Amino acid sequence: MDSRLILVTILIRLGVAAAISSVLVRARRFRVLLFREERTLGEKIELVLIIGIPIALGVLVRGWVRNFYAADISFEGAILMGVIGGRFAGIAGGILVSLPALLLGEWLALPMNILAGALAGLLRHVAPEREAVWSFSPLFDLSIYHWIRRSIRKSLIDWQTSFLLLILALEFGRIQLHRAFPKRIFALDSDNWLVELAVYAGTVMAVAIALKVLNNVRIEMKLEQQERLLLQTRMEALQSQINPHFLFNTLNSVSSLVRRDPDSAREMIVKLSSILRRLLRKGDSFVPLREEVEFVDDYLDIEVVRFGREKLKVVKELDPASLDQLVPSMILQPLVENAIKHGLAEKLEGGGSIYIRSRSAESRIVIEVEDDGVGMPVSGTSNSSGTGIGMVNISERLQVVYGDAAEITIESQPGHGTLVRLVLPILLAEDMGGSVAGALYEARSITSR
């Protein structure tokens, strides 16, 4: 084989390895499998099929297209599948990518690729830590000085050096088989020692580049996971801030009735127990609006007993289509509490009303809580979070979950009441990602596009 053709083939092969890796990581399922360190047998088979099929097709292209040897990276692919998926994946992958070679009469490719995948999988198994697999770099330090110093310090050859030596040894064996049986196994080979050295370097680089591309995606997914966990932690902190505040106010209401109206106090305690059960459901960061309304009903029953049914009127105007939409939990009760505490408390002797409304509008859900109380001073009417810990908390939680995609507005007229309006993006159940962390991250990601 002409030396110049070999050198060009090596360069193109590096591009093929990078291109296949880049295409694979675009598949969502492959990204999921790649991120998992421990995989079931079925998942390993999936991983082998996803990686092996395009590589096997490349072997066919090499057999059909004259002098297009760069399409065949089956040997490197078997090593890659072994080091990513383990011994089973390496052996199964070696078999898969060798099938086209068998059609071309290259029957020695099968045992060679199986051996390569099995040994790479074995090396993964004995790695001191799994992250060492992903640290193999195309810029591997071949300095003899550093290698000797590292070996003396550790009294052994580290994993990266072992992997490098394994690839070189396997490539050496493949080339020797090709020289002995040129029609039974494919390999790049040259009488020029510099070109032969480039062949060895090209094999190492092809494996390393593919690992580098895949590792970049893993790092990106880890950062996304950390962001999801951070959002979940912050959300839980904000929820824990609202719960004690709410319970403190409710218990004060109960204590005020214990002596003068024991029956009403008992009724409030029953309602409070229902509320506490809801608060103990820590995993519910998103709930249907219907559940939020039921929760507020229990809270309002307590407040109605406290102030008197003739003095506190509750009017609900709820669009049935909006009740199934997902909203952050504990988002409605602080609005109602704020309306009673800051809007109606000062005029309940003369009676007051609270209006709770909801409706769906295109891809958004609108929630309104209005009171006909004393209103806010002119200086307090704004698009800010309003007064009280509850309103500040809601504003912060909406910012955490939705970013700038959610709106909270306050309209108030002194002496006539206050209207608080939330406009939230509609979230579908399939956007929840199967977990609280996934829900928080998906909600923020979807609405920021």
Residue 385's pLDDT is what? Answer: 39
Co-location of 197 and 84 in the same domain: yes
Question: Per the structure block, which two tokens stand in for 56?
Answer: 């096997």
Mean pLDDT of the chain: 81
Query: Average pLDDT for residues 177-183, to the nearest whole number?
Result: 93
Between 44-53, 228-237, 268-277, 404-413, the lowest mean confidence (pLDDT) is in: 228-237
Co-location of 279 and 137 in the same domain: no
Count CA within 13 A, CB hemisphere, residue 433: 19
Co-location of 204 and 293 in the same domain: no
Residue 135's pLDDT is what? Answer: 77
**302: CATH:** 3.30.565.10
Domain count along the chain: 2
| Burial per residue of 293-318, b for 16 or more beta-carbon CB atoms within 10 angstroms, e otherwise | bebbebbbbbbbbbbeeeebebeeee
Q: Collapse the DSSP code of 363 into the 3-class scheme (helix H, G, I; strand E, B; otherwise coil) and give the result.
A: coil
Co-location of 152 and 43 in the same domain: yes
448 and 347 Cβ atoms separated by less than 8 Å: no
Residue 382's pLDDT is what? Answer: 40
Please indicate, yes or no, if residue 233 is contained in any of the structural domains.
no
Residue 155's pLDDT is what? Answer: 46
Say whether pLDDT at 231 is over 70: no
173, 203, 221 — which closes off a domain? 221
Co-location of 263 and 178 in the same domain: no
Please indicate, yes or no, if residue 413 is contained in any of the structural domains.
yes
Co-location of 360 and 433 in the same domain: yes
Query: Average pLDDT for residues 62-77, to the nearest whole number?
Result: 91
The greatest distance separating any two alpha carbons of the chain, rounded to the nearest whole angstrom, comes to: 105
Query: Average pLDDT for residues 26-35, to the nearest whole number?
Result: 88
Sign of CA dihedral 97, 103, 104, 105: positive
Please indicate, yes or no, if residue 192 is contained in any of the structural domains.
yes
Between 23-37, 154-168, 221-235, 256-270, the lowest mean confidence (pLDDT) is in: 221-235
Strand-pair category, 352-361 with 312-318: parallel
Co-location of 274 and 161 in the same domain: no
Supply the DSSP symbol for 341. Answer: I
Rg, the chain, Cα only = 33
Co-location of 279 and 168 in the same domain: no
Query: Average pLDDT for residues 403-415, to the nearest whole number?
Result: 84
Please indicate, yes or no, if residue 231 is contained in any of the structural domains.
no
> Most confidently modeled of 233-237, 381-385, 421-425, 432-436?
421-425
Query: Average pLDDT for residues 389-417, to the nearest whole number?
Result: 80
Please indicate, yes or no, if residue 243 is contained in any of the structural domains.
no
- Digit-coded pLDDT (tens) for 334-378: 888 888 877 776 665 667 888 999 998 878 899 999 988 887 765
- Digit-coded pLDDT (tens) for 327-346: 887 788 888 888 887 777 66
Q: Collapse the DSSP code of 231 into the 3-class scheme (helix H, G, I; strand E, B; otherwise coil) and give the result.
A: helix
Please indicate, yes or no, if residue 229 is contained in any of the structural domains.
no
Query: Average pLDDT for residues 28-49, to the nearest whole number?
Result: 90
Say whether pLDDT at 438 is over 60: no
124 and 82 Cβ atoms separated by less than 8 Å: yes
Percent of the chain with pLDDT over 90: 38
Confidence of residue 160 (pLDDT cuts 50, 70, 90): confident
Tell me how far CA of residue 117 lies from CA of 14, 210, 349, in angstroms.
19, 15, 82
Say whether pLDDT at 380 is over 50: no
> Most confidently modeled of 96-105, 156-165, 234-243, 277-286?
96-105
Co-location of 215 and 283 in the same domain: no
Residue 195's pLDDT is what? Answer: 92
Q: Collapse the DSSP code of 67 into the 3-class scheme (helix H, G, I; strand E, B; otherwise coil) and give the result.
A: coil
Q: Which residue has the higher pLDDT, 347 or 171?
A: 171
Q: Which residue has the higher pLDDT, 169 or 1?
A: 169
Please indicate, yes or no, if residue 355 is contained in any of the structural domains.
yes
176, 194, 221 — which closes off a domain? 221
- Digit-coded pLDDT (tens) for 89-146: 999 999 999 999 999 999 999 999 999 999 999 999 888 777 778 878 755 444 445 5
Co-location of 121 and 10 in the same domain: yes
Confidence of residue 197 (pLDDT cuts 50, 70, 90): very high
- Digit-coded pLDDT (tens) for 280-295: 665 567 788 998 898 8
Residue 237's pLDDT is what? Answer: 61
Helix (H) or strand (E) holding 418: strand 417-425
Q: Which residue has the higher pLDDT, 402 or 442?
A: 402
**What range defines the domain where residue 127 resides?**
3-221
Token match 């591309």: residue? 213
Co-location of 142 and 275 in the same domain: no
Task: Tell me the C-alpha distance between 449 and 446, whole Å.
Answer: 6
Residue 120's pLDDT is what? Answer: 94
Say whether pLDDT at 52 is over 90: yes
Please indicate, yes or no, if residue 264 is contained in any of the structural domains.
yes
Token match 């932690």: residue? 233
Co-location of 351 and 204 in the same domain: no
Residue 378's pLDDT is what? Answer: 54
